[in-house]
Amino acid sequence: MIFDMHMHIENRSSWIVTAEDCIRAMDEASVDKAAVMTLGDYPGLNPDAIELVTEAMSRYPDRLYGLARLHPGHLETSQATLDRAVTHLGFVGLKLHPVSTHQHPAGEATIALVRQAGELGVPTLFHCGDEHMTTPLAIAETAAACPGSVIMLGHMGGYFHVDEALQVAERYPNVVLETSAMPYPEKIIEAVRRVGAERVVFGSDGPVASPIVEKQKVVIAALGADDAALVLGGNAARMLRLGS
Amino acid sequence: MTTTSSPDAIIDGLVYLGRSHYGWSHTADELIAGLNRVHIGSAIAVAAHPTGADFQAANDQLLAAAGGHRQLIPVARIDPWAERPGELSRVVRAGAKGVFLHPAEEHFRINDQVRVRPIMEAAAEHDVPVMIAAGFHLMAEPLQLGEAAGWVPELPVVLTNGGQFNISGGSQFDVELIMEQNPNLHVHTTAMYRQDFLERVVTRRGPDRLLFASAAPLFTMEFERARADLMHVDATQRALIMGGNAARIFRLGAAA
C-alpha cells in the first residue's frame, strides 16, 4: 500500500485543485491512498476548508484521508474544529502552515493546538522549509514543548534546511520527516540511516507537485524493500491507524 | 507522456565542474560517467566557484576539460568583482558558448547597474547568452532577475531552477510575471518541485522557454532527468525542452 502523506484540495486560493485532480495524479503514480488538506487555513483564508475535505473523504472513502488545516490565531475555534474533525468527521491529523497563519511554532496557541492533536491521537504536519517561522529549528521548539505529539516536518527542510531537519529529527523522537518537494534523493537515504525508516514518510505536495515524480525520488533512493515499504506506506498506516 | 528516445539529442542545460570553494568537487570523468549512466548526450558546463577566487584559471581549466571531452560545452563564469574587464571577451574568444553569473556565490546583486549591467551588455555584444543562478534571497530574486533581463531585451537569459527557490510555491507568481514581461527569459527545470509551474511555462509562454538541466552535482542527475521526462508535454515540446532549446540558445550547431 502506497500512501502519500501530503496532498491538497482547494477552492479559494490562487491554486484551485479538486479531489478528482488528486485521484488522477494518484492513479498515474500508483498511489493507493493520500492525506489531503486545503491550501488555505480555517477559519480565515478558507471558511469552507473543513466541509471541502469532509466531502472529498466521503466521495473517496478508501483513498483520501483528511488533515484539518487550522489557524492557531483563532485558537478557540480551531480547537473546537480539531476536536470535531477528528472525533466526528474522520480526520486523521492536523496541518499547520506558519507562513500563511503568521503563527510561530513556539507560540502558545500553536503549542496548545499541537498538544491537543497529540491527545486526540493524531499527528501534526508542519510546512517545514526555508521561510521564516517554518525552519526545522523553529519547529523544534514545538517538538520540545509537545513530547506527546507526533510532528511531521513536511518537505523536511525544503531546499536549504534539510540537514537541520535531520538534526532536529535526531534530537526529538516525536519528529517524523516527510519527503515532499525537497529535491535530494540522497537525503532520504541519509534520513533512514540516521533516524530509522520508521520515521520517514513519503509525500508529494500534489497534485500541483507530481506524485509520480516525488515517488521516483524515493525509488532512486534505493532504500531496500523493507525500508521502502515503511517509507512509502507502512509508517502512514501505523501512524494514522488505517484499517483500525 | 513520452520520453525522448535519442540520448545524443539530450543536452543537460547546466552542470558544474571543478573543485568548489564550498567543499565539493566534480571531475570531468565523474561528469561524463554521470551523463552516460543517465543517457544524456552532452552538457553545458560551468566552473565551480574556485578556491582563491581565480576565475581566469577556473575558466581555463573548464576550457581544457571541454577540449578533451566533446560532450562538454563550456560557458564562462564571470565574477563582477574581479579586476579583469577583458575576461569575458578572452574566454568567449577561446570557445565559451555563454556567460554564467552566480550572484549568491560571488555575492552581488543581479540588478546592480554598475557591476552587472556592463557584463550583460558585453555578452550581447559578443552575441552569447547569459545564464544566471536564480532564486537567492537579496541577490537573485525573480523581480531583480526580471529587471536585469530587461536591460538587454535582445539577449537570451537563462535562469536556473525555474527562476526561484521557494518551497511554498509563492515565487512562481513573480517568475510568471517576469517571463511575461521579458520574452528573452528562459528557465531550467532543475529542482522545481511544482510540475504544474513547469507545464504552465510550456502552455503559457511556449515550449521554447524551458530547458532541462540537472545542475549536477548540486542536484541529482538521475532524479532531475526523471523530473523532466515525467512532464506532460508532447513529443515536439519535449524535444525542445530536452535539448533543442539549449542548442538554439547556445548555438551548438552540430552538437544539437
Once rounded to an integer, what is the mean pLDDT over residues B219-232? Answer: 98
Percent of chain A with pLDDT over 90: 97
Q: Phi and psi for B80 in degrees, rounded to 5?
A: -60, -20
Grid coordinates representing A86 are: 477528528
- In this prediction the pTM is 0.96
Which residues in chain B have Cβ-Cβ distances shorter than 8 Å to A99? Answer: 168, 170
The pairing of beta strand B99-101 with beta strand B130-132: parallel
Q: Write out residues 92-121 of B within 8 Å (CB-CB) of A.
A: none
Distance CA B21, CA B31 (A): 18
User: Nearest C-alpha of chain B: how many angstroms from A156?
Assistant: 10
Nearest to A131 by CA among A96, A168, A160, A167: A160
Which residue in B has a C-alpha nearest to residue A210's C-alpha? B195
3-state secondary structure of B44: strand
Which residues face A93 on adjacent strands?
A67
Say what the pLDDT of residue A244 is: 63
User: Nearest C-alpha of chain B: how many angstroms from A20?
Assistant: 16
pLDDT digits over B172-211, tens only?
999 999 999 999 999 999 999 999 999 999 999 999 999 9
Distance CA B232, CA A21 (A): 14
pLDDT digits over B90-133, tens only?
999 999 999 999 999 999 999 999 999 999 999 999 999 999 99
Say yes or no: A137 contacts chain B, CB-CB below 8 A: no
Question: Across the interface, do A209 and B230 touch by the CB < 8 Å criterion?
Answer: no
Say yes or no: B191 contacts chain A, CB-CB below 8 A: yes
Percent of chain B with pLDDT over 70: 96
Looking at 3.30.200.20, 3.20.20.140, 3.90.1150.10, 3.40.50.970, the CATH number of the domain B7-255 comes to 3.20.20.140
Q: What is the ipTM of this complex?
A: 0.95
Say what the pLDDT of residue B254 is: 52
Task: Please check the confidence at residue B5 and state whether its pLDDT lies above 70.
Answer: no
Q: Break chain B into its structural domains and give their ranges.
A: 7-255
Distance CA A176, CA A201 (A): 7
Domains of chain A as residue ranges with CATH = 3-239 (3.20.20.140)
- Quick one: which H or E segment has residue B32? helix B28-38
Say yes or no: B220 contacts chain A, CB-CB below 8 A: yes
Once rounded to an integer, what is the mean pLDDT over residues B42-50? Answer: 97
Which residue in A has a C-alpha nearest to residue B135's C-alpha? A159
**Least CB-CB distance to B168: which of A99, A183, A217?**
A99
